[in-house]
Chain A
Amino acid sequence: MEELAIKIEHVSKQYRLGAIGGGSLKGDLQSWWARKRGKEDPNSKIGARTDIKTGEKFLALDDINLEIKKGEALGIIGHNGAGKSTLLKLLSRVTAPTTGTIGINGRIASMLEVGTGFHPELTGRENIYMNGAILGMTKKEIDSKIEEIIDFSEVRQFIDTPVKRYSSGMYVKLAFSVAAHLDSEIMIMDEVLAVGDMAFQKKCLTKMREAADQEGRTVLYVSHNMNTIRQLCDRCVVMDHGHIIFDGGVEEAIALYMGFNRENYSNHIFINPNMRDPNWPSPEVTIEEIKLDTPNGYIQFGERLVFSLRVQSRLDRDADVFVRVMIKTAAGSPITMSAVDSPITIPSNGETTKEFELNTSLLIPASYYLSFVLYEIGNIGADNNLDVLRDICSVTVISSDSFNNGMAWNPQWWGNISIGALKRGE
């Protein structure tokens, strides 16, 4: 049996809705007295929904069960309010669960936010000691590691300057370095890398990867940055409304999180106004209907995507419009765009349905979002957007046998475009 680092059993965390107390003793007493007499609470907000009574329970986490093995790098993703941070708070023992038990094996280093416990008046060196001690290191342990920590942080030059003079990047670097060098069996990170520069982010990810692979440390990582999740984690959990809705491979988890709900997939989309980009709310020339010539959104690697658009004009003149299609990965990184080379003429107050062919043959097997833009070319040659539909539909490219000689493709290293095999010179 593989050794577990963390075992979470039936854990729920309950919060009370509404203000927790009136914030003052007087307010609480007032509310209590009013309730006693059956009158309206004088402290409830005017127009507040009466069906949510103050004190109604809200489950931030609802019966969570999760086992994390030793040496595993687990990513946790989910929309805001899904319960990710609450879960990490419980694990780092900042607050206690309402029900359930959590078993933890080993020491936890949590880096929930930048520079936790840094005192602005103390120097970098003093803060390393301080922060280390807060994370549970003894002075001796820090003594033996201090040089390594300073080197890793890249702020040696400023180490004896009070940290209140540091830039926010330097803050993160120092904070991360301390936590990364803590002899903890479990590391918890919540969006800590968002502030550091790219080079440092990369260094941190490498360090964490090493920690998991070579030292057998367990890493829990929460982020909205799918690329870092992809680089670091080997397993991923998707949370939603206090539940774990998916537990498994990273790519599937990301696809699920990014909204690829295959069950409700439609290849025939009728546009309603709230699907439009709000910057162009009521265009006069609009895309009304998109139809993909693929029954369930799947295309084979190397195939081209055929689709048709129905475009409607409310202009009193014939309009010459162009169509642009933008392709993004499921994680939201733009891949490329493709536009028509000559305009399509829409008769005044009329509509046209046209078929197009998008060259998707270079896209590696994965899921993609498509965005559509209608635009005109103005008098001075600048383009002028008429209608913008962002991430309106998705396609999934599926692998063919010949793709990459049957080997797996690692998008985090190689990107999302395959330009074919490398040919030998004659």
Chain B
Amino acid sequence: MEQKFSTVIVPKTKLLDFHFKEVLKYRDLVFLLVRRNFVSQYKQTILGPLWALIQPLLTTIVFTVVFGRLAGLAADGVPSFLFFMSGNIAWHYFSSCLTQTANTFTGNAGILGKVYFPRIVMPISTVLTNLISFSIQFVMFLVLLAIYWAKGAVQPTWYALMLPALLLQMAMLSLGVGIIISSLTTKYRDLKMLIGFGVQLWMYGTPVAYDIGIVPQRFMDVYMLNPMTPIINTFRTAFLGLGSFDLLHYLISWGVTILILFLGLLLFNRVEKTFMDTV
């Protein structure tokens, strides 16, 4: 008589088998991990979560002075402080998701090497943790925006309602790139060295510290392939009323995002079961 087993462990996995139901079962773990990440980040600091505000504030001030005043790269017609801050907080969300996801496997080898839970839980919780930091920063941004708006210096548009879609896309993109890197770094640590530099380079390839207007027209088609560019642009259109919404490039950027995420999941799925042997 054959007996039924609740779990059957077999060596090879299908090209893509993603147990969404299993992840749902572990949702409490996701929330606890988010809480843990967030709480432990600010333990034994005096200012606590205020640091989430201070960091982008300082960067924005530096950007305003260096890129705005000295280099004159800010867009015309909007307060340069708001201009840089909008780019900054969006980029900061993306980049911290990316770098932290990229370290998922190597950084948590301790836990992952001892117990089983769906591995994807880790990067998902990272993305959610950063969403909290982003929300804090975004509230600060909204306050400043309201002040400037009251003075009539900026004019937000209805595109602001697209914010959830923008956030989702950034989360998916950073998750995709992050798990590609983390899947590869289980074997090759080189990429870990590159990632800090790579993210910085990517930032300069995205209109964060300058206005898109300075990019020469002939490079525009290539430039727009960077999925982060339309995201930042749309973000600025939405809240600062800068430029106009570019549907074509926005859709292309979604296409690239989905492709990268799909590739990431594919790779993740390949290494998930045995990465502990090489990490």
Footprint of B on A, CB under 8 Å?
Answer: 1, 3-4, 7, 15, 20-21, 23-26, 28, 89-90, 92-106, 108, 110, 112-113, 116-117, 119, 121-122, 126, 129-130, 133-139, 162
Footprint of A on B, CB under 8 Å?
Answer: 1, 3-11, 13, 25-26, 28-29, 31-33, 36, 39-40, 43-44, 110-117, 187-191, 273-274, 276-278
Task: Find out whether the CB atom of B8 lies under 8 angstroms from the CB atom of A102.
Answer: yes
Task: Find out whether the CB atom of B11 lies under 8 angstroms from the CB atom of A121.
Answer: no
**Distance, CA A240 to CA B111, complexed state (A):** 28
* Given A101-B10, A103-B7, A110-B115, 8 extra CB contacts under 8 A: A92-B116, A93-B7, A97-B11, A102-B9, A104-B6, A105-B7, A106-B6, A139-B28
Task: Find out whether the CB atom of B274 lies under 8 angstroms from the CB atom of A96.
Answer: yes
Which of A93, A99, A103, A121 is within 8 Å of B39, CB to CB?
A: A121
Task: Find out whether the CB atom of B116 lies under 8 angstroms from the CB atom of A94.
Answer: yes
B109 to chain A, nearest CB (A): 11
Task: Find out whether the CB atom of B40 lies under 8 angstroms from the CB atom of A119.
Answer: yes
Closest chain A residue to B43, Cβ basis? A121
CB neighbours of B33 from chain A (8 A) = 130, 133
Give 23 pairs: A residue, B residue, CB < 8 Å, sorted on A.
A23-B188, A24-B190, A25-B188, A89-B276, A92-B115, A93-B9, A94-B115, A94-B276, A96-B273, A99-B11, A102-B8, A104-B7, A112-B114, A112-B115, A116-B114, A117-B110, A121-B44, A122-B39, A130-B33, A133-B32, A138-B28, A139-B32, A162-B43
Task: Find out whether the CB atom of B115 lies under 8 angstroms from the CB atom of A101.
Answer: no
- In the complex where A110-B115, A134-B111 touch, is A21 in contact with B188 (Cβ < 8 A)? yes
Task: Find out whether the CB atom of A113 lies under 8 angstroms from the CB atom of B39.
Answer: no
Task: Find out whether the CB atom of B273 lies under 8 angstroms from the CB atom of A95.
Answer: yes
Most chain A CB within 10 A, of B13, B43, B44, B191, is at B43
**Distance, CA A7 to CA B191, complexed state (A):** 40
Closest chain B residue to A94, Cβ basis? B276
CB neighbours of B29 from chain A (8 A) = 133-134, 136
Task: Find out whether the CB atom of B114 lies under 8 angstroms from the CB atom of A21.
Answer: no
A104 to chain B, nearest CB (A): 4
Task: Find out whether the CB atom of A7 lies under 8 angstroms from the CB atom of B277.
Answer: no
**Distance, CA A104 to CA B239, complexed state (A):** 54
Closest chain B residue to A23, Cβ basis? B189
Task: Find out whether the CB atom of B3 lies under 8 angstroms from the CB atom of A7.
Answer: yes
B108 to chain A, nearest CB (A): 9
**Distance, CA A1 to CA B29, complexed state (A):** 37
Task: Find out whether the CB atom of B277 lies under 8 angstroms from the CB atom of A104.
Answer: no
Task: Find out whether the CB atom of B9 lies under 8 angstroms from the CB atom of A94.
Answer: no
CB neighbours of B32 from chain A (8 A) = 129-130, 133, 139
CB neighbours of B9 from chain A (8 A) = 90, 93, 96-97, 101-104
**Distance, CA A99 to CA B186, complexed state (A):** 22
A182 to chain B, nearest CB (A): 11
Most chain B CB within 10 A, of A24, A95, A106, is at A95
**Distance, CA A7 to CA B273, complexed state (A):** 20
Task: Find out whether the CB atom of A122 lies under 8 angstroms from the CB atom of B3.
Answer: no
A349 to chain B, nearest CB (A): 60
Which 3 pairs from chain A and chain B are nearest by CB? A103-B5, A93-B116, A96-B273
Task: Find out whether the CB atom of A94 lies under 8 angstroms from the CB atom of B11.
Answer: no
A92 to chain B, nearest CB (A): 6
Task: Find out whether the CB atom of A96 lies under 8 angstroms from the CB atom of B11.
Answer: yes
Task: Find out whether the CB atom of A20 lies under 8 angstroms from the CB atom of B117.
Answer: no
Closest chain A residue to B7, Cβ basis? A104
Task: Find out whether the CB atom of B26 lies under 8 angstroms from the CB atom of A95.
Answer: no
**Distance, CA A78 to CA B155, complexed state (A):** 73
CB neighbours of B26 from chain A (8 A) = 133, 136
Task: Find out whether the CB atom of A100 lies under 8 angstroms from the CB atom of B6.
Answer: no
Closest chain A residue to B117, Cβ basis? A134
Closest chain A residue to B29, Cβ basis? A133
**Distance, CA A26 to CA B188, complexed state (A):** 9
- In the complex where A3-B3, A101-B9 touch, is A134 in contact with B115 (Cβ < 8 A)? yes
